[in-house]
């Protein structure tokens, strides 16, 4: 059985290096000796579309046990986060390199680990049907957390593939009113002909989450002996009936038509025919619906805490129904010329134009607000915008030692008129003694108009109407990789003017301060015999911690012993440690789903330790772990942010099983 991830390109040529990211490709193979005359070799190709679908980037089919115990999607994406604790709840990376430059749909920003973009969707080509089943469970039963995943894909013929990917996170939560039910379904298909290629996906995402607003008093965790709470779920919280639900539908179609013919010599006696260029059209429909609800709002006001959680009630004092819609339709047209066609300058070229039409529907204030006895007549407003931008890129992807790209885009029509981007990336590899090292650098200059809802929003508890300026961002990143030494070091800087952030009142604000954000990241994998230690260390500087709070130090370390038992059972036994220095982690506002600045109390300086056992038997991977095994040691400051303590100690297991028939 062979399992292979291969690099592909819409031009038909191999692209082992992702030109946009400047990173090395990742190829993984498993083999199993079987009689060739009676068995079809299992072969799975796996790729993603990048740069408006103009490049195809290989990714490895996930069959490794190392890191399998990291069960949280947020922590698989980023080693340090500010979050609410519950599996599937909102989470925001707390590192410079993961900061977003632009928000398409503001209210899904902190669910980005679940709302994948088209550049993260996977497409397949298989010789035999491929299925992956995933299940994860965390107890106890009365407060269970579960995750289920089903992936199936099969080729209809050697050029045409179809399949679906279905994921569910269902979690009651360890504290009261934390229930989460997230669902993701994607149907996908791709066809790769000699002249024509098409990739298509239909996606439905749903997140339905109770929002408890955090526990009423952090002292319930700091000094539990003062209170008579037998279980964590007995601790009082701010809300018991507040919720946020997002429904997202997406339709994506990327078509590529190869034009012209070009004969290229590969070796002295061998030549291949390649297209001169490729014409590409991309269609993307993205519709979001969000509803923030609070039932029995009048009861919460009358019987709640001394000061109601929300400081304003503008529409209805009986219940909250903040319903908004956001629909985006994008069409992109581009023409790409392959670098093999450029004998003189030896680089490729692509140009593109993209038009986006946005329609937004949102609440507006009624003529007469509601009272405790008379609900208002809900009124809504809608706005439609169109934006168009031009762009281009030159690139060099051929050659094993040196690759680069440079690009730009400019908005010339719509409310984003004047927005622009200048980007570039470079990577090279060279020999150092017996090792091969890789240098990489990338960055860009971005002028970005805030999204509609960052500037204007009306709801039952928050209203703002601002005229923000463009945000100016300079991003610079560089680093060194030595794969044979399992080491990487990188530095990223962000230098920002007119930054928009969420202030201590959970309102969007634009600062005229000049922000300087620096991240130094070091990864190193040590091994001694069967003992291993994988480390990620972050050192970060924020020139204005009151605006962009960041932990100065963040560490993720995985220490384990691995071996193969009875020649068939691969095992890893060890523990993970996560640690951040003290910092003012952003607080969370349920009504908007945003993390915002706070100076009430620092969190951190507390190690979170998980003990785990990973096992792999042929095609099945299994983990068993004890989360937060050190609960209460060395103290009780186990908070992700104020009012949101981490989950208590708990047992969890998960299994992933691959099938190739």
Q: What is the pLDDT of residue 482?
A: 92
pLDDT at 568 over 90: yes
Mean residue pLDDT across the chain = 88
| Residue pair 658/130 in contact by the 8 Å Cβ criterion | yes
Which residues lie below 8 Å from residue 529, measured CB to CB, with a gap of 6+? none
Q: Which residues pair with 95 in a beta bridge?
A: none
d(CA 552, CA 90): 22
Q: What is the pLDDT of residue 34?
A: 40
pLDDT tens-digit series, residues 16-59? 223 333 332 333 333 334 444 456 677 889 999 998 888 888 87
d(CA 189, CA 168): 21
Q: What is the pLDDT of residue 640?
A: 94
Which residues lie below 8 Å from residue 231, measured CB to CB, with a gap of 6+? none
Angstrom CA distances, 462 to 201, 254, 315, 364, 408, stand at: 36, 39, 10, 11, 37
Q: How many CA atoms lie within 13 A of 556 on its CB side?
A: 15
Q: What is the pLDDT of residue 38?
A: 53
Q: Which residues pair with 171 in a beta bridge?
A: 145, 180
CATH number, domain of 446, equals: 2.40.170.20
d(CA 59, CA 8): 10
pLDDT at 303 over 60: no
d(CA 169, CA 145): 8
Q: Which two tokens stand for residue 405?
A: 């790209």
pLDDT at 466 over 70: yes
Residue 299 — pLDDT band, cuts 50, 70, 90?
low
> What end-to-end distance do the CA atoms of the chain give, in Å?
11
Angstrom CA distances, 258 to 16, 23, 192, 200, stand at: 20, 26, 11, 18
The alpha carbons of the chain give a radius of gyration, in whole angstroms, of 26
Which residues lie below 8 Å from residue 84, measured CB to CB, with a gap of 6+? 90, 91, 178, 588, 640, 641, 644
pLDDT tens-digit series, residues 398-443? 877 889 999 999 999 999 999 999 999 999 988 887 888 899 999 9
d(CA 240, CA 213): 9
Q: What is the pLDDT of residue 375?
A: 61
**Could you count the other beta carbons within 10 Å of the beta carbon of residue 145?**
24
**Could you count the other beta carbons within 10 Å of the beta carbon of residue 128?**
16
Q: Which residues pair with 155 in a beta bridge?
A: 161
| Residue pair 476/426 in contact by the 8 Å Cβ criterion | no
Q: What is the pLDDT of residue 267?
A: 61
Q: What is the pLDDT of residue 300?
A: 63
Q: What is the pLDDT of residue 344?
A: 66
Q: How many CA atoms lie within 13 A of 192 on its CB side?
A: 18
SS3 of residue 112 by DSSP? coil
- Dmax (CA) of the chain: 87
Give the DSSP H/E element, type plus range, for residue 222: helix 219-222
SS3 of residue 260 by DSSP? coil
pLDDT at 477 over 90: yes
Residue 622 — pLDDT band, cuts 50, 70, 90?
very high
Q: Which residues pair with 213 in a beta bridge?
A: none
Q: What is the pLDDT of residue 374?
A: 61
Question: At which residue do the structure tokens 């890191």 appear?
Answer: 67
pLDDT at 579 over 90: yes
Residue 11 — pLDDT band, cuts 50, 70, 90?
very low
Which residues lie below 8 Å from residue 74, measured CB to CB, with a gap of 6+? 81, 83, 91, 93, 113
d(CA 97, CA 20): 16
pLDDT at 339 over 60: yes
- What is the 3-state composition of the chain as percent helix, strand, coil, each rounded to the nearest 5? 5, 55, 40
DSSP H helices in 364-431: none
Q: State CA 279 to chain mean position distance.
A: 29
Which residues lie below 8 Å from residue 654, measured CB to CB, with a gap of 6+? 68, 69, 71, 134, 135, 136, 137, 147, 622, 623
What are the b/e assignments for 182-204, b being 16+ CB within 10 Å? bbbebebbbbbeeeebbbbbbbe
* Domain membership of residue 408 as a residue range: 3-659
| Residue pair 519/491 in contact by the 8 Å Cβ criterion | yes
Residue 1 — pLDDT band, cuts 50, 70, 90?
very low
Q: State CA 56 to chain mean position distance.
A: 19
In this prediction the pTM is 0.89
Domain count, the chain: 1
pLDDT at 201 over 70: yes
pLDDT at 184 over 90: yes
25-34, 99-108, 318-327, 423-432, range with the lowest pLDDT: 25-34
Q: Which two tokens stand for residue 570?
A: 């691969």
d(CA 323, CA 292): 7
pLDDT tens-digit series, residues 491-525? 999 999 999 999 999 999 999 999 999 999 999 99
Task: Write the DSSP symbol of residue 60.
Answer: -
Beta strands in 84-127 (DSSP E): 91-93, 123-126
pLDDT tens-digit series, residues 246-258? 999 999 999 999 9
d(CA 411, CA 386): 11
152-156, 165-169, 345-349, 578-582, range with the lowest pLDDT: 345-349
Residue (of 105, 96, 59, 102) closest to 78 by Cα position: 96
| Residue pair 557/535 in contact by the 8 Å Cβ criterion | yes
Q: What is the pLDDT of residue 19?
A: 32
d(CA 74, CA 615): 23
Residue (of 18, 6, 192, 204) closest to 119 by Cα position: 18
């Amino acid at each position: 059985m062979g399992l292979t991830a291969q690099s592909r390109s819409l031009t038909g040529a191999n692209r082992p290096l992702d030109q946009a990211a400047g990173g090395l490709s990742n190829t993984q193979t498993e083999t199993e000796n079987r009689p060739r005359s009676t068995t079809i070799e299992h072969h799975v190709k796996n790729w993603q579309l990048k740069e408006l679908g103009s490049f195809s980037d290989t990714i490895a089919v996930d069959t490794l046990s190392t890191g399998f115990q990291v069960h949280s999607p947020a922590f698989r994406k980023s080693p340090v986060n500010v979050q609410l604790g519950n599996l599937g709840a909102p989470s925001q990376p707390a590192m410079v390199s993961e900061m977003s430059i632009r928000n398409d749909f503001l209210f899904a920003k902190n669910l980005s680990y679940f709302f994948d973009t088209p550049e993260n969707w996977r497409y397949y080509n298989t010789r035999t049907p491929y299925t992956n089943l995933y299940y994860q469970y965390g107890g106890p039963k009365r407060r269970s957390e579960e995750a289920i995943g089903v992936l199936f894909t099969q080729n209809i013929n050697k050029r045409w593939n179809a399949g679906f990917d279905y994921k569910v996170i269902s979690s009651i939560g360890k504290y009261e009113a934390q229930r989460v039910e997230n669902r993701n379904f994607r149907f996908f298909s791709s066809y790769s002909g000699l002249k024509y290629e098409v990739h298509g996906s239909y996606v439905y995402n749903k997140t339905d989450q109770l929002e408890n607003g955090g526990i009423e008093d952090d002292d319930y965790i700091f000094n539990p002996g003062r209170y008579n709470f037998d279980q964590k779920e007995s601790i009082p919280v701010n809300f018991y009936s507040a919720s946020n639900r997002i429904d997202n539908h997406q339709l994506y179609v990327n078509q590529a038509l190869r034009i012209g013919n070009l004969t290229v010599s590969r070796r002295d006696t061998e030549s291949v025919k390649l297209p001169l260029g490729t014409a590409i059209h991309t269609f993307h429909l993205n519709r979001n619906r969000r509803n923030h609800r609070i039932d029995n709002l009048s009861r919460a006001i009358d019987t709640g805490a001394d000061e109601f959680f929300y400081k304003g009630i503008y529409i209805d004092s009986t219940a909250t129904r903040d319903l908004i819609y956001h629909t985006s339709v994008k069409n992109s047209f581009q023409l790409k010329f392959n670098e093999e066609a450029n004998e003189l300058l030896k680089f490729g070229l692509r140009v593109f134009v993209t038009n986006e039409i946005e329609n937004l529907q949102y609440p507006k204030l009624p003529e007469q607000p509601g009272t405790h006895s008379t609900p208002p007549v809900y009124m809504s407003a809608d706005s439609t915008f169109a934006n168009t931008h031009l762009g281009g890129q030159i690139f060099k992807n051929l050659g094993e030692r040196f690759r680069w790209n440079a690009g730009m885009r400019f908005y010339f029509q719509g409310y984003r008129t004047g927005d622009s981007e200048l980007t570039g990336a470079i990577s090279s590899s060279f020999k150092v003694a017996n090792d091969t090292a890789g240098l990489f650098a990338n960055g860009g200059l971005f002028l970005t108009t805030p999204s509609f809802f960052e500037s204007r929003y009306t709801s039952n508890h928050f209203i703002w109407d601002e005229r923000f300026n463009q945000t100016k961002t300079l991003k610079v990143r560089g680093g060194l990789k030595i794969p044979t030494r399992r080491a990487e070091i990188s530095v990223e800087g962000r230098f920002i003017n007119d930054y928009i952030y969420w202030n201590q009142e959970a309102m969007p604000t634009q600062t005229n301060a000049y922000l300087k954000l620096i991240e130094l990241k070091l990864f190193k994998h040590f091994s001694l015999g069967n003992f291993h230690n994988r480390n990620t260390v972050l050192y970060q500087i924020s020139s204005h911690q009151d605006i962009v709070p960041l932990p100065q130090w963040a560490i993720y370390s995985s220490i384990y012993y691995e071996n193969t038992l009875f020649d068939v059972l691969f095992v890893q036994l060890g523990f993970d440690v996560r640690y951040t220095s003290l910092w003012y982690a952003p607080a969370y506002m349920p009504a908007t789903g945003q993390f915002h600045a706070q100076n009430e109390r620092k969190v951190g300086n507390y190690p979170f330790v998980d003990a785990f056992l990973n096992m792999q038997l042929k095609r099945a991977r299994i983990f068993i772990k004890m989360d937060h095994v050190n609960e209460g040691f060395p103290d009780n400051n186990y908070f992700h942010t104020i009012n949101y303590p981490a989950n208590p100690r708990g047992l969890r297991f998960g299994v992933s099983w691959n099938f190739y028939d």
